[in-house]
Chains A and B, each alone.
Chain A
């Protein structure tokens, strides 16, 4: 037994073996340099120094803070402060310039678009989508169809005061009545009106539908806000009904649902949450998505 564990010298390499043997295969003892060992010890010491200097060990409801008092949260706050200082001059320029001037100055435009895109991703994309493409009931901000106006000033106002946001006294409000739910209109009238609305933008209507009835109902109930020919009214946020863009969709069932339930979307007022330069940048960003007027 002892023989198989005896330390021997390997003939080929001249190195000693560790004495370990597996099925005739022996392990060479190739010693590491001692400086390597000391480097390793030094790393261990360094690791302990780290433990002492920095937050390291989790406790039941807390953790060891480390003698340097470093905290990742404070580091982030300091980094954000640093960035704000860095952006300070540009932010001041954005604050001073008019919205139209921002769009005309390449330097300001690229800064505002970058800042606007970042603010949009955090604040606006949950409703309007990552690319501002909107979804059912939430307007697409890329197209040229605007509920409350697509000029820089109008977008800026919407951002500042929101839509139907009661906490802001300058918010813009309007409410489409729930014609069906309230019993104002009968089901056959709603059906006829929906068909008539579809006909305004040249969409096919249901066979045998009473478009004349629809037209008269529309004139009596809808035209006040949506206009005689469905051209909409940005003063009261009434959508255009004679174009190819639909807030809730062009299907007859969806239009009937809107006539039945009425209502309107809500957007928060951002002036209480975002600072003035950020809101300006957002207005420029949305305006330059492509649909701005």
Chain B
């Protein structure tokens, strides 16, 4: 007997292929409570998406009148009464953090409702499937047709379907670009082929991705491309409501006839009659009865399908329902159901959402309509003048976020004696140098501060406060920096 394993030529030949072809899924039409919710959400979300760019919002002169607009060339973003400048991108960061926390909270309360109802991939796939059913018929009809060799009818139906899909995809991409320019103007420009090439390129790319993802790839996007199913598993717990097959009620599954017989004999019989309706309607081809599943987007369509069957066989509905792991176990051991929406994680998420939201709202409401920023010259740190005085140079940038031009006076506090000069300054108002800044613009200036003898001393560098004041209403914005001399530390 040899110690080395015998060479086996078949060892590395996999019995299962390393790559599998996609199994075509033919989701069946379904009616019911959750299907109605999904239709409603589809109409509302797509309605918002398609019409929002055309909503007008009067901001006065010098600003666009589109309610929601991301103006990339001018580096401005508008959302109704809010105008965001690039340096305020932390509002976007905060919004994304809030969105993530809301997603976590939704997940802790009721599983993947984002996936099942709100995700654009789900909504557009739903729309594309509706078109497919309208043209090619329901599940059985489509399966039957695809099993036959292609004839002229099949070909023309498919051609029609793909054409409508492409139109929908094109419309999706076409609306996307309207968020980045004045919508009515851009529509006319697009129609007359005078729009920027980037608009057409964006539309082309989004048409292609929408057609591919919602028409061709569908559940493959959720199964292989989306990270959320993987993350979601770490965020759910036994108290979260998930679409669940109540196996405590359904098993042992058997045909209706057998079940009636078993019950008459007093033998255990589950409510599940293995009719496969839950599988037939599933848009991702999942068998919910196998338990929690990566592929399940928890849209609840299997609940509608199963309820339909339960009503027909006169058994209680909700054999498949939004339920928790805890309750299944409790029912099995004869305990009553418990629902615990208030748990450590839901409280934590809620508190975080409220705190972050409040902080964001507070800063947004109280933000200054104009700001000043100061950068000390890096090199040289200070300049010694021929009379021995010390001068520091600063770059001062004033941002006027108002839609009217403003004039500001500049004051520098913190020195015993300060002589201020603005390179390219315009003059003086009330003994202070003044600067005017155009509407919705920034202006950068070089400001020189010369200190008196007393300020050229040992010790910490003097702290300066640059104060700009709106000459009309007296509002103030400040920025801080230091005045450095050959004798100051650091």
Contact = CB atoms under 8 A, between A and B. Distances in A.
A18 B383 CA distance: 74
22 contacts: A1-B6, A2-B6, A5-B5, A5-B11, A7-B16, A31-B18, A33-B224, A35-B22, A106-B443, A129-B380, A131-B378, A132-B380, A142-B383, A142-B393, A144-B386, A244-B388, A245-B384, A289-B393, A290-B383, A290-B393, A290-B421, A290-B423
A169 interface: no
Given A143-B383, A144-B386, 16 more contacts: A7-B16, A31-B18, A32-B19, A32-B20, A109-B424, A132-B380, A133-B383, A140-B380, A142-B380, A142-B391, A142-B393, A143-B384, A243-B386, A244-B385, A290-B391, A290-B423
A36 B393 contact: no
Interface in A96-133: 103-104, 106, 109-110, 113, 129-133
B21 interface: yes
Contacts of A145: 385-386
Given A36-B224, A142-B380, A31 B19 contact: yes
Contacts of B20: 31-34
Contacts of B224: 32-33, 36
A205 B423 CA distance: 39
A33 B22 contact: yes
Interface in A244-293: 244-245, 288-291
A131 B19 contact: no
A130 B11 CA distance: 68
Interface string B360-404: 000000000000000001111001111110010100000000000
Contacts of B379: 129-131, 133
Output the residue of A18, A33, A37, A290 with the most chain B CB within 10 A: A290
Nearest to A132: B380
A133 B16 contact: no
Contacts of A240: 386
Q: Which 3 A-B pairs have the closest CB atoms?
A: A131-B379, A243-B386, A133-B380
Contacts of B377: 131
A19 interface: yes
Interface residues of B, number: 36
A16 interface: yes
A221 interface: no
Contacts of A229: none
A290 B11 CA distance: 81
B19 A103 contact: no
A145 B21 CA distance: 80
User: What DSSP secondary structure best describes chain A's contact surface?
Assistant: loop
B238 interface: no
Contact of B220 (A1, A33, A291): A33
A234 interface: no
How many interface residues does chain A have, given as a range? Answer: 35 or more
B146 interface: no
A29 interface: yes
A288 B423 contact: yes
Contacts of B217: 35
A151 B19 CA distance: 77
Contact of B19 (A5, A19, A33): A33
Contacts of A29: 14, 16, 18
Contacts of A5: 5, 8, 11
A7 B5 CA distance: 16
Contacts of B380: 129, 131-133, 140, 142
B18 A32 contact: yes
Contacts of B58: none
B15 interface: yes
A145 B444 CA distance: 27
Interface string B1-27: 000011010010011111111100000
A140 B22 contact: no
B385 A110 contact: no
A16 B8 CA distance: 19
B364 to A, nearest CB: 31
Contacts of A1: 5-6
Q: Which of B217, B383, B393, B443 has most A Cβ within 10 Å?
A: B383
Contacts of A133: 379-380, 383
Contacts of A291: 383, 385
Nearest to B23: A33
Nearest to A105: B424
B317 interface: no
B446 interface: yes
